Amino acid sequence: RQPPRDSSVDPALAAALAILLQPFVETIAEQLRKKDGGASASADAVRQAYVAAYSSPTVEALIGRLHQYLPDVQGELVRQAYALGVIAHSGQFRQSGEPYIDHPVAVATILLELRLDAESVAAALLHDVVEDTGVSLEVIKQFFGDSVAHLVDGVTKLSGLE
């Protein structure tokens, strides 16, 4: 299913929002309801969190760093990966108490310091999504392409060796 076409909506944003029609959005909301012990988390709340993350200061900073050495690269892939990472890891915390998304952002920041491409940065933001959430590798492939899916799958397999 595709979101309704509205000529006033930016085509890049419309494509990005198509991911919110996937069944995993309800799975994430269900996981949050189980953690909260209540019905406060809805699929609509998950969708709103995606939209908020889509243009958050954190993702703007990541894209800004990417543009320092790849000025012509569209930041859309990184933007969408960050927003998906935020909603997929909603309600998850590290042992330190920090939100789980801080870890993928830290990995992405290291890759930006190493001047890697947008696909690698997107994969860093998504590297635990398949393993730890209701988002499948097929969803990653569908919305982020073969290259990002291959990188995410490789990291998932590596973590299975531990």
| CA distances from residue 127 to 86, 93, 152 in whole angstroms, order as listed | 12, 16, 5
Stated length of the chain: 162
Selected catalytic residue, list 76, 102, 117, 131: 131
Single-letter residue type at 137: L
Active site residue 128: no
Selected catalytic residue, list 76, 117, 132, 153: 132
Active site residue 132: yes
Spatial distance between the Cα atoms of 96 and 60, rounded to a whole number of angstroms:
25
**Cα dihedral 128, 53, 44, 122 in deg (nearest 10):** -40
The catalytic residue positions are 131-132
